[in-house]
Amino acid sequence: MDFAARTQHEQQIEAAVAAVLVLYRRQIEAGREISLSELERDLAVALRLLLSNTFMAAALQLAGASGVPGFDDLENHAERYAVEQAGVIAHDFAGRVRDELFEERQRAIEDRRSVVQLADILLPNWRAEAIAITETTRAASHGMNLVAAALVTGSLMVAAAVGTGILTNRFWHTANDDRVCSICSPLDGYEAAIWAGRFPSGPPAHPNCRCYVTYGGLP
């Protein structure tokens, strides 16, 4: 099933990421050199609770639809996921900014940009939306996968240990609109045997992916 609260969670994540980007854009525009380690830290902190909430909401949606009120220790699984994923996102983001900053410094020898232009290049507004869409999809997928596996095994602990490998009866679904891309469109409606080799956890298949999976025998 699709994640019913997707829009709400996307908006919350986008707002949190945008707030961090605004803070560092202002530093650049003021002519200050930003600390990439602090950017990484602040972005990770901004994301952790929101990713945990998204994971939990999606997991509970599937559990509720399946007639199961919940699983013990689900919050701890959500928190562990969020801490790890927030760290990965923030580290990768800071790394991209570092690389782009180096490239801009090299270009500045011949073509010096204004601080506003530099801020736009390093911390563009679209990145907040891209992170929000992608990571809402990812957190929802992981939360639902865990519950689906727990419904099969009867235990969250076992489900976390075996992962998504036991969930062979999964079907990929696109958002079915004009924004669906050439990567996901061919996967629409197909079982995991077709796509699990490339995307073992399911969506997202790429940045800005809004796809989801359904589980055979489950709602």
pLDDT at 176: 85
- Whether 100 is in a domain gets the answer yes
- Whether 214 is in a domain gets the answer no
Residue 30 Cα distances to 34, 59, 123, 208, angstroms: 10, 43, 14, 31
- For residue 173, the one-letter residue type is H
Q: Answer for the pair 18, 128: CB distance below 8 angstroms, yes or no.
A: yes
Q: For residue 111, is pLDDT > 70?
A: no
- Whether 69 is in a domain gets the answer yes
114: containing domain: 6-162
Q: Which pLDDT band, with edges at 50, 70 and 90, does 102 fall under?
A: confident
- Whether 68 is in a domain gets the answer yes
Q: Which pLDDT band, with edges at 50, 70 and 90, does 135 fall under?
A: very high
What are the E-state strand segments in the chain? Answer: 170-173, 212-215
Q: Answer for the pair 93, 34: CB distance below 8 angstroms, yes or no.
A: no
pLDDT at 112: 64
DSSP 206: S
User: Among 169, 95, 92, which Cα is nearest to 138's?
Assistant: 92
Q: For residue 218, is pLDDT > 80?
A: no
Q: For residue 219, is pLDDT > 60?
A: no
DSSP H helices in the chain: 6-29, 36-65, 74-107, 115-122, 126-153, 156-162, 192-195
- For residue 183, the one-letter residue type is I
DSSP 3-state of 210: coil
Q: Is the dihedral of CA 192, 218, 64, 73 positive or negative?
A: negative
pLDDT at 163: 85
Q: How many CA atoms lie within 13 A of 66 on its CB side?
A: 23
- Whether 92 is in a domain gets the answer yes
- Whether 49 is in a domain gets the answer yes
Q: Which pLDDT band, with edges at 50, 70 and 90, does 119 fall under?
A: confident
Q: Model pTM?
A: 0.92
**For the chain, how many structural domains are there in total?**
1
- Whether 203 is in a domain gets the answer no
- Whether 193 is in a domain gets the answer no
| Cα–Cα distance for residue pair 108/180, rounded to 1 Å | 38
User: Among 57, 125, 43, which Cα is nearest to 85's?
Assistant: 43
